[in-house]
Structure 1
């Protein structure tokens, strides 16, 4: 099922390989749905759903903190900054915010565009997927909220995106965006690289997306097939993570959001169950 992961190695060295996924933990968020999950470390994560609040929970589903959102509006995207601060956006308020202690600070406004996804880059930049009735693009902001760049048009003058939502950045700087029935991948500067349409899958509806920067894996939730795609940096599908054989609770049901913890486990938030399932998908093997 899985392609070989190619990385540099030395003799008798253990290297990670894709294996059949194992659900190692199930977390009840206390929300009716998990729209977004964002790992802080290997033990805790932030959650958002339909309710106008953010929740910090540990792996035992214990509530550690609850923060109300500005004006009681919902969250359309969230990401962890390099300094471990939660950054999120609201499509209703058309703004990007930061959780700082017990308070929320506005970082910037997205103007006439509604934000539908956000990612904090390792250099401190913030990428935001935004749309209005005429245009769809990725805006790059500095950590101080200053707008730095718009990614919208290909070198041939075509629009890159239709309805961008979740997004992330790979180890090579590529920007990877869930966009209706495809993943759009551009360089860090916004030049088009390729589209991923699900590989061998007959249907494909990408949702949450994250990258394992150690291996350059692009990891994508496919909520129409209830699986997770693992793709290399050049768009080749390495395999799919399917937990349908792990009983009723172990099966993925409408996976909507993804986050990778410090141990390279994938946290999968489900759209309507309120559950998050932690998947182990790599094992070390001697070469």
Structure 2
């Protein structure tokens, strides 16, 4: 025997029942303990910290533990069925994420799919607004940020370029969208007209869909999205005299070509569509006030409604977007995280974004060309930028930060 480690500097026991034990590259001893913590001491046996889950106040039931070549600590959590990734100092800096191991049973065999959440690439704060309830990615690397009854156009470095007033001021809904191929900006005005700017920096505009109060008073446009596949405009509608919603598809001339409202048995599938987007397979994806992500196919048939993970939990869905892998990403006000689903509504992982500056995510947009995810908050008035980094990316020269750290 050369060493015994049992107490902290105050003489209190630091372990209850060590389950798994490993050693980090810096000499730290890392223990997965039944106390609900990962306990770390330095090579001299001095207590450094105990990781008890993220965010603080949540529970952790740690099982297997290991470390990697960058001295990150990985621990299996029985409660969330995820692998937590923290750095050697318990700061969650390396991945800003949870890695989810999802098991798919096909023909009696089990396959594993490892899902890597986005890692933080850059961060900036746009200071000249009081809330951020919706984001759109525009041309020339511009970002459109909904700030109440106006939206501002910034560069991707945070510099304000332009602002447009007269937006519908109802908070927490997607009131604008950009058709990138046509360089057209669509948004819902405070009088519920949907207008179009052919060049979004110009002040001239045309009415795309005119709201006539005398005949259209029962339904009002609440959110919209410009399809990057068909150039159609998808509009989420809200009924005023009852809790009821629908989605109307317009072609680029403003002609109604589709209405989505019911499932196959005639029941309503929406209450109030808050945010709307389109997946690359043509699915229409809606964040609804029911606390669900409602997905229909291109023909308008209801595919599924995702209501949180695990199934008995609840979801307070806000902003949504999809990525190049057909994943659906949705902001959840209850867990203060971005949840990632596959295109069929199966939960994949939580994207833990708090360490990066976002307290409560409210809106999202995705740049398909650069695999960048923008996350905005209407609580701490900030916008964060994330980049998808896969394991293969870490093995290439495209990510010099990790060069020579990994081997095939």
Q: Distance in 2 between matches of 1:166 and 1:216?
A: 17
Report the Cα offset of residue 253 of structure 1. 2.1
Q: Distance in 2 between matches of 1:5 and 1:37?
A: 33
Given the alignment of the two structures, is residue 114 of structure 1 paired with residue 232 of structure 2, yes or no?
Answer: no
Q: Distance in 2 between matches of 1:233 and 1:53?
A: 33
* Aligned mate of 1:53, from 145, 150, 153: 150
Equivalence for 1:160:
269
Q: Distance in 2 between matches of 1:177 and 1:145?
A: 21
Contact 2:321 2:366 in 1 (8 A): yes
Give the greater-gyration-radius structure (CA): 2
Deviates more, 1:34-43 or 1:189-198: 34-43
Report the Cα offset of residue 284 of structure 1. 5.0
Q: Distance in 2 between matches of 1:284 and 1:171?
A: 23
Equivalence for 1:236:
346
Equivalence for 2:117:
19
Given the alignment of the two structures, is residue 86 of structure 1 paired with residue 161 of structure 2, yes or no?
Answer: no
Q: Distance in 1 between matches of 2:152 and 2:365?
A: 15
Q: Distance in 1 between matches of 2:350 and 2:259?
A: 32
In proportion to residue count, which structure has more strand? Answer: 1
Pairing of 1:138-177 with structure 2 (within 5 A) = 138-177=247-286
Pairing of 1:68-83 with structure 2 (within 5 A) = 68-69=165-166, 73-74=168-169, 76=173, 77-81=175-179, 82-83=181-182
Report the Cα offset of residue 138 of structure 1. 0.4
Three-state SS of the structure 2 residue aligned to 1:239 is: strand
Q: Distance in 2 between matches of 1:159 and 1:116?
A: 17
Please list the CA deviations of residues 25-54 of structure 1 after superposition, one character each: whole Å capped at 9, or x if unmatched.
22315110011111125832011212x322
Contact 2:119 2:387 in 1 (8 A): yes
Three-state SS of the structure 1 residue aligned to 2:389 is: strand
Q: Distance in 1 between matches of 2:297 and 2:232?
A: 15
Given the alignment of the two structures, is residue 67 of structure 1 paired with residue 171 of structure 2, yes or no?
Answer: no
Report the Cα offset of residue 73 of structure 1. 4.7
Q: Distance in 1 between matches of 2:103 and 2:141?
A: 27
Across the aligned residues of Structure 1 and Structure 2, the Cα RMSD in angstroms comes to 2.5
Contact 1:88 1:98 in 2 (8 A): yes
Gaps of 5+ in 2: 1-98, 105-113, 396-407
Please list the CA deviations of residues 104-160 of structure 1 after superposition, one character each: whole Å capped at 9, or x if unmatched.
221003533222211111211110111112331001111111111211111101111
Deviates more, 1:275-284 or 1:135-144: 275-284
Equivalence for 1:13:
none
Q: Distance in 1 between matches of 2:254 and 2:315?
A: 34
Three-state SS of the structure 1 residue aligned to 2:379 is: coil
Q: Distance in 2 between matches of 1:190 and 1:158?
A: 13
Q: Distance in 1 between matches of 2:128 and 2:103?
A: 37
Contact 2:183 2:198 in 1 (8 A): no
The TM-score, its normalising length taken from structure 1, stands at 0.85
Contact 2:292 2:308 in 1 (8 A): yes
Contact 2:224 2:275 in 1 (8 A): yes
Equivalence for 1:39:
137
* Aligned mate of 1:222, from 332, 339, 345: 332
Against the structure 1 CA distance between its residues 116 and 43, is the aligned structure 2 distance closer, same or farther, given a 3 Å change threshold?
same
Contact 1:220 1:229 in 2 (8 A): yes
Against the structure 1 CA distance between its residues 85 and 4, is the aligned structure 2 distance closer, same or farther, given a 3 Å change threshold?
farther
Gaps of 5+ in 1: 7-15
Three-state SS of the structure 1 residue aligned to 2:183 is: coil
